[in-house]
Amino acid sequence: MKGVRLRGFVLCALMLFITGAINGAEGATIRVPGDYKTIQEAVDHASAGDTVVVSPGRYRGNITLKEDIILQGAGADSTIIEGDGTGSVIEGASGAVVEGFTITGSGRKGKTGITMDAGISANNAPMTIANNRIINNNTGIKLYYSPSNIINNVIADSDNYGVYLSYSDSTVKNNIIINNKNHGIYCSYSKPEIINNTIYNNLNGIYSEVSRVVIKNNIISGNKSAGVKWAEPIGSQEGSEPILSYNIVWGNGKDYVNVRPGEGGLAKDPGFVNPEGGDFHLKKSSPGIGAGEGGVDIGAFGGDDAQKEIPVSPSVKSYASVKPKKDVGKEPDYMSQMAWKEGTKSGKGNFEGYCVPCHGPEGRGDGVLAETLDVPPRDLSNSELLSTRTDEFLFKVIKNGGPSVGFSENMMPFSGTLSDEEIRNIISYIRSDICKCKYKGGGE
């Protein structure tokens, strides 16, 4: 055992050394309240690579992060960020790290969709979120096109989801996800890995649609509706499979819906020390001890990243150097695969790959994701409407997104995903096959 620990340590040190060498000089450290009174002021003055270190205390107000900065509290017990009660408490940024806080008090807006309020929200912004207690928000963590690392957090008491993943191939590890009124973890159009978590007393433990999800070494128990639930029935899950191994799934409304337990799956009382009192350590007699893959304990206190407490203080174990895999954010490969099938140059192929999830196969606004959006996708088959739109207008919406013409941000920009030519081909396809209409207005 000692040898293993030591090797891990040396490896960590080596990695730190190497990343240090690659990044060149380390970023600056900016202190709150020492250098700036508020967290937002400190963030505004930080540059990529800097660490904003926040002293113990209660800090009020929402925060908008900047790319590649590290926001570090003194630990969830002592550094508390309390949101305005509107919008998300922390609006993420690409490559940013948030660790060592309690994060609470988001707005209550949005049951589903990308405008949903959350403790931490990230749109097109892969992040690392570690060592936090994220409690009493509308949704705990909401990720949209943001494959992120979610490690060692307690995510609890949300009015809505614990963790919401849409187009976000995230790693969700060693978290305690409890007492959320909607699903503990919701996955759509994502390929996440959910490993060594304890997921207890939510609506469904894990609920997935159109996602391929690895679920390993977790305890999923006491969830009201189902432990693990798949939207797609067994037999039509190609590309969106549940891949389960070594989980304890027990004592849920139903343990499995459209899902099989997989290798090493156990249906036994996990033997928490005191779940009502919030202690999810395992009793010595727990069937989860040593029963995970490779002999690790099942649940949030087992596995390679196992900690004695969750969340731990970043001074004990910091994840600041764990960077998210940034590049996969914009273009989840299963979507481009769908598009490739038809050839990227073809408007049809790209329409099916990128637009159908929201707008539906015939463009009627009834895609699988439609009901997750608070502002519904437009019915693009409405020829009366589309014939009042110029091609330039459609081009602008598709390239720069809804807000560029005063529409909802739910209509996302495709400038990073599709070339101008590909967008024009999609417009031709919409004109020829979806609305079957041309622009009829009297010029511009």
Which of 355, 413, 425, 435 touches ligand HEC (CB under 6 A)? 355
Contacts (Cβ under 8 Å, ≥6 apart) of 35: 42, 45
CB of 382 to ligand HEC, least distance (A): 8
Q: Is 381 in the site for ligand HEC (CB under 6 A)?
A: no
Token pair for 260? 């099989």
Which of 63, 266, 397, 437 touches ligand HEC (CB under 6 A)? 397
CB of 351 to ligand HEC, least distance (A): 6
Total length of the chain: 444
User: Which of 72-80, 238-246, 298-306, 390-398 is the region at the interface with ligand HEC (rule: CB under 6 A)?
Assistant: 390-398
Q: Is 359 in the site for ligand HEC (CB under 6 A)?
A: yes
Nearer to ligand HEC, 230 or 354 (CB): 354
User: Which of 192-200, 264-272, 334-342, 357-365 is the region at the interface with ligand HEC (rule: CB under 6 A)?
Assistant: 357-365
Binding positions for ligand HEC, 416-435, rule CB under 6 A: 426
CB of 236 to ligand HEC, least distance (A): 22
Nearer to ligand HEC, 52 or 380 (CB): 380
User: Which of 33-41, 50-58, 335-343, 406-414 is the region at the interface with ligand HEC (rule: CB under 6 A)?
Assistant: 406-414
CB of 183 to ligand HEC, least distance (A): 19
Which of 408, 413, 425, 431 touches ligand HEC (CB under 6 A)? 408
**Integer Cα distance of 97 and 105 in angstroms:** 20
Nearer to ligand HEC, 93 or 411 (CB): 411
CB of 427 to ligand HEC, least distance (A): 7
Q: Show the binding pattern over residues 277-316: x = contacts ligand HEC (CB under 6 A), - = does not.
A: ----------------------------------------
Q: Is 125 in the site for ligand HEC (CB under 6 A)?
A: no
Nearer to ligand HEC, 43 or 397 (CB): 397
Q: Is 437 in the site for ligand HEC (CB under 6 A)?
A: no
CB of 88 to ligand HEC, least distance (A): 18
Nearer to ligand HEC, 120 or 434 (CB): 434
CB of 426 to ligand HEC, least distance (A): 5
* CA distances to 54, 59, 73, 178, 402 from 79, in Å: 7, 8, 6, 21, 37
Residues that bind ligand HEC (CB under 6 A): 354-355, 357-359, 369, 373, 375-378, 389, 394, 397-398, 402, 407-408, 410-412, 414, 426
